[in-house]
Amino acid sequence: MKTPLISVIVPVYNEEKVLAATCARLRTVLLALGEPYEVLFVDDGSRDRTLDLLRDVAAEDSSVKVLALSRNFGQQVAITAGLEHCSGRTALLIDGDLQDPPELIPDMLALWRQGWDVVYGRRTARVGEKATKKTSSRIFYRLLRWVTDQDIPVDAGDFRLMDRKVVDALVAMKEQSKFYRGMVSWAGFRQTPIEFVREARAAGETKFTWRKMVKLAADGIISFSVKPLRIATWLGTAVSIASFAGLVWVLVRTTIGSETAPGWASLAVIDLFFSGVILILIGVLGEYIGRIFEQSRGRPLYFLQERIGFDEKPDRAASEEERT
């Protein structure tokens, strides 16, 4: 088969409600290109009918491929699987809920043809998302920009078109905690934004729980910066200087003055304050050490349960057939 012009990578997790609409809209846009393409769905361990629906779609449409992960690994890992298995001259990362408009694909490809290696979507507005989500995301992107020395674009998600050489660069980056919007900036190449309005979800609910968002934010900050460690050092120094001044003050008051006040309140306050500071700093250290541990263990990031629509058969296909 001819090399596809574009591989569209769609991570999906429990998206049965929106999948049909997504497939239809992608198909319309991609067929209009008049070039070979592939759509690579990565099923991130869905518990609903997502995988069954994908099986049907792939059976009817030879340009649709499906990778099913062995369990829910998270969106960034699902993207990893997609990048490792795509074959196009360009790859597009897009959410499966139609919040990123597929209609932008021709414009993105036009920019790629002009010589840009990365065309990333920058949302000028977000429709139908909760104020808490918008605010937390705003704060996060500013914080991220401040702690990292990387020029990570503000208000851009993972919606982006990348040249093959960028895809190869990303696949070569073997970190365990993936944070693609940062990794793409780090990799370099010629990058340009394209603006769009982020629509409301076409159907279903967000799959990003607070826990998943906090993990993504922590991965972004900790994998891209040692500034939290440096802040810990500075905070420790400032607190030490302040407490030394306090120590001198206490000594002077008790030796030269005639202070005999009980003083348990101030002691308790000081003790609690420092215990808090120390625990936070240990936590910061722990975050880094935990990531070193994960990296050194070097486990595969995901396992594949199934590959659908790929030409070549995986080695184990024969033994897999025996079982049924």
Question: Which residues make up the interface to Mg ion (CB under 5 A)?
Answer: 95, 97, 99
- Closer residue to Mg ion in complex, CB, 129/287: 129
Q: Least distance from C-beta 146 to Mg ion, angstroms?
A: 26
CB of residue 138 to ligand UDP, shortest distance in Å: 14
Residues 6+ apart with CB under 8 A from 235: 277, 281
Give the one residue of 63, 80, 99, 177 binding ligand UDP; rule: CB under 6 A.
99
Nearest distance in Å: CB 11, ligand UDP: 3
Q: What region does 206 belong to: left with phi over 0, alpha with psi -120 to 50, or beta?
A: beta
Stretch that binds ligand UDP, among 68-76, 218-226, 298-306, 308-316 (CB under 6 A): 68-76
The smaller minimum CB distance to Mg ion, of residues 74 and 309, is found at 74
List Cβ neighbours of 319 (8 Å cut-off, separation of 6 or more). Answer: none
**Binding at 74: pick from ligand UDP, Mg ion, none (beta carbon under 5-8 Å per type):** ligand UDP
Site for ligand UDP contains 13 (CB under 6 A)? yes
Nearer to ligand UDP, 71 or 142 (CB): 71
Instruction: Rule CB under 6 A: say whether 153 interacts with ligand UDP.
Output: no
CB closer to ligand UDP, 116 vs 201: 201
Within 150-204, strands assigned E span 156-163, 191-198
Compute the least distance from the CB of residue 142 to ligand UDP, in Å: 18
Closest CA relative to residue 107, chosen from 152, 161, 166 = 161
The number of residues in the chain equals: 324
Strand order across the 37-43 sheet? 191-198, 118-126, 156-163, 90-93, 6-12, 37-43, 64-69, 304-308
176 binds, among ligand UDP, Mg ion, none (CB under 5 to 8 A by kind): none
Instruction: Closer to ligand UDP by CB, 144 or 232: give it.
Output: 144
By CB under 6 A, residue 12 contacts ligand UDP: yes
Asked if 95 interacts with ligand UDP (CB under 6 A), we say yes
Q: Is 70 a binder of ligand UDP (CB under 6 A)?
A: no
Q: How far apart are CA 7 and CA 164, in angstroms?
A: 10
Query: How far is residue 226's CA from residue 222's CA, in Å, rounded to a whole number?
Result: 7
CA distance 167 to 95: 17
In the complex with ligand UDP, which residue's Cβ is closer, 78 or 86? 78
Residue 210 phi/psi, 5° resolution?
Answer: -60, -40
Residues 169-208 that bind ligand UDP (CB under 6 A): 206-208
**How crowded is residue 34: how many other Cβ atoms within 10 Å of its Cβ?**
8
Contact 39, 119 (CB under 8 A): no
Pairing of strands 304-308, 64-69: antiparallel
Q: Quick one: 113 exposed, middle or buried, by C-beta within 10 A (0-12, 13-18, 19+)?
A: exposed
CB of 259 to ligand UDP, least distance (A): 58
75 belongs to the binding site for ligand UDP (CB under 6 A) = yes
What phi and psi, each to the nearest 5 degrees, are found at residue 174? -95, 30
Contact call for residue 135 and ligand UDP (CB under 6 A): no
Q: Which lies closer to Mg ion via its Cβ, residue 97 or residue 219?
A: 97
| Two tokens, residue 69 | 């992960």
Looking at 4, 74, 82, 182, which residue binds ligand UDP (CB under 6 A)?
74
Taking the complex as a whole, the smallest distance from the CB of residue 179 to ligand UDP amounts, in Å, to: 14
Q: Which residues bind ligand UDP (CB under 6 A)?
A: 11-13, 15, 44, 72, 74-75, 78, 95-97, 99, 206-208
